[in-house]
Amino acid sequence: MQGKRCLDIGAADGFWAFEMERRGAGDVLATDLGTPFAVGARKRLERVRAETGSRVRYEERGVYDLEGEFDLAFMGWVLQMVTDPIGALQSVRRVSRQLLLLDTISLPLSLVPAPLARLDARRDGSEWFVFNPRGMRKVVELAGWTVEAQSGILRERIPLARTDWKYLTGVRSRSCAILARA
């Protein structure tokens, strides 16, 4: 990341933005919407910036409203929250040459027969779409990106005290990462 201009989309508390800066990025912009969650996260981001002398910048901006030129855009756990995932990925492609995408996925096809994506898959209104690994790759390609690498299923470590069966079984704690080039 040495000297690169980086964009963290849906930054929340800025964890990935600070990590990009730590790894040598020359300029990092963190963006998120003005949701109640993001307001608290932005305060934490600003506190960490002040305490560490970080140069990470923050802008309240949605994925469809991105501006500028970036070498790398990181998009973590955003696709399932947007109504138009292909449009979101196309918006990112307009401003960045490379994409690192990390998103929640449904169980793989080998375990549970499923479509490439499910609309309103969580049924509790918390997410619009959930992709399986093949579906996530397909939506990235449909948006005009060339996939360079894709991880296997990444399983979140769950604290032992957590008793929610959805997390303990991996139904809501699985992710996949894709590296793509415009």
- pLDDT (0 to 100) of residue 166: 47
Give the containing element (helix H, strand E) for 137: helix 133-142
Residue scoring higher pLDDT (43 or 34) = 43
The whole-number pLDDT of residue 19 equals 94
Residue 119 has pLDDT above 80, yes or no: no
Both tokens of 123, joined, read: 């049924």
What is d(CA 91, CA 153) in angstroms, rounded to the nearest whole number? 26
User: Across residues 85-98, what is the average pLDDT?
Assistant: 97
Give the mean pLDDT of 157-172.
49
DSSP reduced 3-state for 86: helix
- Domain of 137? 5-181
| Number of domains making up the chain | 1
**Does residue 158 register a pLDDT over 80?**
no
Which pLDDT band holds residue 27 (cuts at 50, 70, 90)? very high
- At residue 40, the pLDDT reads 76
**What does the pLDDT read at residue 57?**
92
Task: Say which CATH number the domain at 17 has.
Answer: 3.40.50.150
For residues 84 and 37, give the distance between their C-alpha atoms in angstroms, rounded to a whole number.
21
Predicted pLDDT of residue 63: 96
> Quick one: pLDDT at residue 165?
46
Residue 62, classified by CB atoms within 10 Å of its CB into exposed (0-12), middle (13-18) or buried (19+), is middle
Q: Cα–chain-centroid distance for residue 98?
A: 14
pLDDT bin (cut points 50, 70, 90) of residue 168 is very low
- As a whole-number percent, the residues of the chain with pLDDT over 90 amount to 47
What pLDDT, on the 0 to 100 scale, is given for residue 5? 98
Q: Which two tokens stand for residue 49?
A: 């910036």
Q: What is the pLDDT of residue 142?
A: 96
